[in-house]
Amino acid sequence: MNIILFKAIAFVSVLLTGIAGGIWAERLGTMSHGKRFFSFGNAFAGGIFLGAGLLHMFPDAQENVDALALGSDFPWVSLICALGFLFILFLEKVFTNGHDDMLVSDDEHAHKKFSPYILTLVLSIHSIIAGIALGTEDVMKKASIILIAVVAHKGSAAFALTVNLCREGISKATVRKVVVMFSFMTPLGIILGLVLSSFLAGRAELLAEGIFDALAAGTFLYVALMDILQEEFNSTRDKSLKFALVLFGFGVMAVLAIFL
């Protein structure tokens, strides 16, 4: 399959997965069994993200940087990966909390009006980075791994976003707009990556792929560890089953690393 056609399919697949997650949340989010199934799917996605970051994205970034023969033993890939992790940590735990405190102290109505968009922005940053990594990738098997990880998480992320916004008392019309905006973030990243790769060639292209693969690895690890696994295992319910699903997701990525 042509890589451009593959990315077009990825664009549509990720977009529809995000929207479907929002629709599912509207229908099942208030039901206990719906939340439980979401929790199981989220645990599986956590394993997928952990495996994709450690077994695919990070090694791919290292391969690209090694091919550049920079003549330095400095661990550039580890540094960029850590910066990706820390960037999302700052946005989610520092930037968002600071703005929430400011909005609440100034005007409760303003908080209700703007907080959904701030939340969506923060949740979307790693989606955009993953989309750029996919858009700049010119090797089908590597692009496939990124797509699998993104699709595995996009629906559950949209589900969680919808449920959280509904709990805040946001109107259904606004929630739907926010979820659609969120669903477009990874496709937007794919387009940005395609545009970027069209202007690059040779060493510059290898460098760009390496940087965005390393950043994506860091954001994948953050989502797996801080957003998914921490949240899921804070609950005492179904811990053994959720751990098995995490292992299964990680195992899927490990098997794919053998063949892809």
Q: Cα separation of 214 and 85, whole Å?
A: 10
pLDDT tens per residue, range 38-92: 788 888 888 988 998 999 999 999 998 998 887 788 999 999 999 999 998 998 8
The whole-number pLDDT of residue 70 equals 79
Across the chain, where does the E strand assignment appear?
Answer: none
> Is residue 139 scored above 70 in pLDDT?
yes
Domain residues for 109? 3-259
- Rounded Cα distance, 162 and 117, in Å: 12
Number of domains in the chain: 1
Chain segment 7-19, per-residue pLDDT in tens: 999 999 999 999 9
pLDDT at 197: 86
155 contact partners, CB below 8 Å, separation of at least 6: 17, 18, 20, 21, 24, 41
**Residue with structure tokens 């295992």?**
233
**Cα→Cα distances 111→61, 72, 102, 124, 125, Å:** 40, 48, 9, 19, 21
What is the rounded distance in angstroms from the CA atom of residue 40 to the CA atom of residue 45?
9
Whose CA is closest to 246, among 49, 55, 54, 36? 49
Average confidence (pLDDT) over 180-204: 89
Q: Where are the beta strands (DSSP E) in 60-198?
A: none
Q: Tell me 238's DSSP state.
A: T
Q: pLDDT confidence of 251, banded at 50, 70, 90? A: very high
Q: Indicate the average pLDDT of the chain.
A: 83
Of 131, 172, 132, 174, nearest in space to 17 by CA = 131
Q: Tokens 């920079």 label which residue?
A: 70
Q: Is 14 helix (H, G, I), strand (E, B) or coil?
A: helix
* Range with lowest mean pLDDT among 202-206, 207-211, 218-222: 202-206
Angle at 62 between CA 59 and CA 65, to 5 degrees: 155
CB 127 within 8 A of CB 189: yes
The answer to pTM > 0.95 is: no
Sort 32 into a burial class: Cβ within 10 Å, 0-12 / 13-18 / 19+: exposed
As to burial, measured by CB atoms within 10 angstroms (0-12 exposed, 13-18 middle, 19+ buried), residue 98 is exposed
Q: What is the pLDDT of residues 96-132, one digit of tens each?
A: 666 555 545 455 454 455 555 666 776 788 889 989 9
Band of the pLDDT at 159, cuts 50, 70, 90?
Answer: confident
